Structure 1
Amino acid sequence: MKNRLLITVIAAVLLAGVAIGYTVLSGASPGETANSVPLDSGPRLMVLSNGKLSTVSRNDPGGPREVTEQLCDRVYSAAGTISCLRPVGALKAGELAVLDSDLKELRTVPLTGFPNRTRVSASGRMVAWTLFVDGHSYAANGFSTSTGILDTVTGTLVQSLEEFTVEGMQQRPADSNFWGVTFTADDNRFYATMSTGPHRYLIEGDFAAKHLKPLTGLDNVECPSLSPDGTRIAYKKAVDGDPQKGWRVSVLDLATHKITQLAETRTVDDQPAWIDDRTVAYGIQRDDGLNDVWSVPADGSGEAKVLVPEASSPAPLG
């Protein structure tokens, strides 16, 4: 087992209620509330605004947004299931909170580490997360991650993909790490990144069989995100195979293994999200420390544009 970051929990704080007020950020201060609006109403995008779960119109993502009091470090949603990785605080450890579309808390899972990635399967059944348990960057040496999956229907909880067998490896390498799960349409299979030594492989997982298979010839694939049509994976690709040089957003065709480098030329340290079959979104931190959500065409054409200013962790809704 790898060394784990020791977190002393001074007090466990359970959030028994969920705030239902919303703030409209269009000529209004963050403290003002508007009438309650269903979180999944209309074609919208879910984002985090200063750490608060929020939604914006997909037709006007830079316009007014509804902001809840629900705090998350990372968030994702699909089919009415919301995965919220709650932040680690001075008096509490982090946790996964599974919420419904009305922000009702369905389940929490205590977590040890710092929230980094989360995904929900298209059906809303499966929830995955990745934590840093040592280090805070995929470009650093000696970082350590923990990646788990929850089946919200059966209640089956896998705390770490280290519990799975890895095809072709009689013994899992001691330095292996897993991160960035993305689910297929059948809810059982998924893709993720596995690192060992200098290699970062795309792996295919079987949840029921607790089995992982590194895909031949697909090295340097990090934080995969499967397209809605299931044919392509958007991911971050280390420049010259060296994460310390940064990452470029790319798209892999699963049938042909053709790689298309997208029009975003800056480094992107995020798990891309598909807004639709043609558009990929991701967060980039600004010089002032704030984040913006950007988008770029998935076919390599066009240019990167700000999708949602002062936001992060995008997920399409409806």
Structure 2
Amino acid sequence: MNLQNRTRVIVLLVAVLLLGAVGTGAVLYAADRTAERDRAQPGGPAVHSGRVTLTDGGGGRQLLFRNMAWGPQRDEITTVPADRPDGPRTASGVQCLRFHAAAGTGICLQAVHGALEDTYRAVVLDDHLRERRSFPAAGIPTRSRVSPSGHLAAWTVFVSGDSYAGTNFSTRTSVVDVRDWNLRENLEDFTVLQDGHPLQAHDINIWGVTFADDTTFYATVATGGQTHLVRGDLGARTLTTLHDNVECPSLSPDGTRVAYKKRVPGLSADAPWRLYVLDLATMTETATAEHRNIDDQALWSDDHTLLYALPGDYGADLWTVPADGTGSAARVTTAAVAPAYLG
């Protein structure tokens, strides 16, 4: 080997060694940053793997949710006693981006990680969180609900866009009857009735189903830059408008009121919502004592109290506030989202 070639080989070897050192340093730096983050924000509430079911099993009322605490159980559905929501969590091993459950039926919206891109699916779970059936989902999961009987499951995904804050998004909402697997794949196929007449529009979006029973539900319909609360009839395949400026409704256990997020004039376009409650008999609105921006479908803890998610150190925390406008908001537990009460 002549001197020129030997020099080239030496230069190449030095370059390879330098690249290796840089790569090793990057890995060590990333590991150190991760450790630093975990020291600054330890995993959050204690979480351990165990048996999780959608029945109380005689153990009293349970609160289930997607665990957001750092660690191997992040994104798993976990359970805590409802009267000790900040206590140690039992993790199920089932990961969901969105989740809800009632009467032994669960709906879990999952990501399926592919080599080139992620896809999504809606999974119906039995009372032991085992998969009964799954359905392809057309986009990013955002809302889910199960009817009080456990017979119906609904989910909403973003087909395009990833936020309700603007106008450049499209949703798809589906409802399935788990008794015969009759799937209403897209509620936009239903007839929207406004002032007793069919509404003709090409920009309709529907999201945020909440069930009254196995026939009647409520949801949001958006068209023409406006949102409306609608009452849905699965048998008649209709959606009847009831009230304006209602998003992500949640029906109270007694069926008399709807909690929802309302766009309040004068607020930032990026944080436009406040949490309200609507009396369905009188259409009277009541602002809750939660004065921060709410981008969630609230859950009723009982006939008097709302539970909802707000941004937190681990992604989201659960908060509560009275439904009648009194009191003040209080944090229930950290590192949690997509709750459901059982029992």
Fold-level similarity (TM above 0.5)? yes
Aligned length in residues: 287
Kindly indicate whether residue 49 of structure 2 is the aligned counterpart of residue 49 of structure 1.
Answer: no
What's 1:208 paired with?
235
What's 1:315 paired with?
340
Kindly indicate whether residue 177 of structure 2 is the aligned counterpart of residue 177 of structure 1.
Answer: no
What's 1:132 paired with?
158
Corresponding letter in the other structure for 1:175: D
For the structure 1 residues 202 and 27, does the alpha-carbon distance in structure 2 shift closer, same or farther, using more than 3 Å as the test? closer
1:27, 1:226 → 2: CA distance? 30
Q: How does 1:149-164 map to 2 (within 5 A)?
A: 149-164=175-190
CA RMSD, 1 decimal: 1.9
1:227 to 252, 261, 278: 252
Contact conserved, 2:52 with 2:78, CA < 8 A, in 1? no
2:82 to 37, 45, 58: 58
2:318, 2:138 → 1: CA distance? 27
Deviation of 1:64 after TM superposition, in Å, equals: 1.3
1:77 to 95, 98, 101: 101
Q: Deviations over 1:62-85 (max 9, x none)?
A: 111111111101000100100101
Which has the higher mean CA deviation after the structures are superposed, 242-251 or 93-102?
A: 242-251
2:44, 2:308 → 1: CA distance? 23
2:181, 2:87 → 1: CA distance? 38
For the structure 1 residues 134 and 76, does the alpha-carbon distance in structure 2 shift closer, same or farther, using more than 3 Å as the test? same
What's 1:238 paired with?
263
1:111, 1:170 → 2: CA distance? 28
1:39, 1:158 → 2: CA distance? 25
What's 1:22 paired with?
none
Deviation of 1:132 after TM superposition, in Å, equals: 0.4
Q: How does 1:1-318 map to 2 (within 5 A)?
A: 30=47, 32-34=48-50, 36=51, 38-41=53-56, 42-50=60-68, 51-91=75-115, 92-168=118-194, 170=198, 172-185=200-213, 187-215=214-242, 218-240=243-265, 244-286=270-312, 288=313, 290-318=315-343
1:26, 1:134 → 2: CA distance? 33
What's 1:20 paired with?
none
Deviation of 1:39 after TM superposition, in Å, equals: 4.6
What's 2:30 paired with?
none
For the structure 1 residues 58 and 170, does the alpha-carbon distance in structure 2 shift closer, same or farther, using more than 3 Å as the test? closer
2:63, 2:101 → 1: CA distance? 9
TM-score, with structure 2 as normaliser? 0.79
For the structure 1 residues 121 and 298, does the alpha-carbon distance in structure 2 shift closer, same or farther, using more than 3 Å as the test? same
What's 2:20 paired with?
none
What's 1:9 paired with?
none
Deviation of 1:198 after TM superposition, in Å, equals: 2.1
For the structure 1 residues 125 and 240, does the alpha-carbon distance in structure 2 shift closer, same or farther, using more than 3 Å as the test? same
SS of 2:133 mapped into structure 1:
strand
For the structure 1 residues 255 and 314, does the alpha-carbon distance in structure 2 shift closer, same or farther, using more than 3 Å as the test? same
Contact conserved, 2:45 with 2:87, CA < 8 A, in 1? no
What fraction of aligned residue pairs are identical, expressed as a percent? Answer: 45
Contact conserved, 1:26 with 1:64, CA < 8 A, in 2? no
Contact conserved, 1:191 with 1:205, CA < 8 A, in 2? yes
SS of 2:277 mapped into structure 1:
strand
- Look at both structures and tell me which one has the larger radius of gyration over its CA atoms: 2
